[in-house]
Amino acid sequence: MTRVAVMGSGSWGTTFAIVLANAGAEVRLWGRNPEVCTEISEQHTNTRYLGDTRLPDTVDASTDTAAVLDGADIVVLAIPSQTLRDNLARWAPALPPRAVLVSLMKGVEHGTHLRMSEVVRQVAGVGPERVAVVSGPNLAREIAVRQPTATVVACEDPVAAELVAATCSARYFRPYTNTDVVGVELGGAVKNVIALAVGIAEGMGMGDNTKATIITRGLAETTRLGTALGAHPATLAGLAGLGDLVATCYSPLSRNRTLGVALGRGLDLTQATAVAKHTAEGVRSCGPILELARLHGVDMPITEQVVYVVRTEGHVSIRDIGVRLLERPRKPEGA
């Protein structure tokens, strides 16, 4: 039986622990909050993030990092992206020497412009063959109640990718493997920013034409950035690109879309964040993503406008965003 440590007791970390347990793995979950860990271990719920959804009885949780990591074949990292470096630096001495490290995080690090897998490799001092990423149309609350979906497990080493995929393959959760780590990660990171833009349009009362335009052109700028960094265009047209983008932009379960809707209705960033309740990664990652694009000469106009809204904390005329986008010089669609 594969032993898995899941580092993070938020909605996606807890949900992925459910998937792993249902797939037959031995799962131990780390959380910062002792009360949450006790609830998971004794009551088999995580009401803060997943309501009354019941977790498998085999999932245990603890605040003891060493105990959770001890003997793990796979270590899953499921914490906010901008906290990864500091947390992983503390955990690194306890990481099992041959474990595959799996990132569920979707973002680009402030300052370094590194993708999450690159941060993992740098801080943990491991090679690319030991770092995998998981991304796809994976809204946690739907998966927690066993609604069917698919995902992508990417690693430069196909054997490691297959190990992770086999370990999380459940009747309702179908993982595909890929070696395009760059494409899978960037699809997951940028879709959060595009979902903010779609949410803003929704909050302003815009219809499906507007939202479909943002999604499609958002995919275009995601693909431009991905290919500039070595990703395969087909990856961005797949589950980790288009699939994740559509789910995040249209679902009311999406925190990024929810926060965007609040901004579009006239709330400032602080108020909108309160409405979203939990971390909306697009707010934290939009700036580093735009900086990364500019470093590589990639045009990302939708991301640029979202960054403008975030940096002014929502204290702007939201309607000016659409004007600025529509007044850009015309060009061929594929350019």
The catalytic residues are 191
Exposed, middle or buried, 206 (CB in 10 Å: 0-12/13-18/19+)?
Answer: middle
Strands of the sheet with 149-154, listed across from one edge? 60-62, 26-30, 3-7, 74-77, 100-103, 131-135, 149-154, 173-178
Torsions phi, psi for 171 (to 5 deg): -60, -30
Among residues 31, 26, 33, 39, the alpha carbon closest in space to that of 12 is found at 31
| Residues sharing a CB contact under 8 Å with residue 31, sequence separation 6 or more, in sequence order | 8, 9, 37, 40, 61, 62, 63
What whole-number distance in Å separates Cα of residue 37 and Cα of residue 308?
39
Helix axis angle for 281-295 and 208-228, nearest 10°, is: 50
156, two tokens? 């430069």
Instruction: Report strand pairing: 74-77 vs 3-7.
Output: parallel
Contact status, residue 33 vs residue 9, Cβ threshold 8 Å: yes
What whole-number distance in Å separates Cα of residue 207 and Cα of residue 174?
33
DSSP string, 7-64: E--SHHHHHHHHHHHHTT-EEEEE-S-HHHHHIIIII---HHHHTTPPPPTT-EEES-
122, two tokens? 């740098």
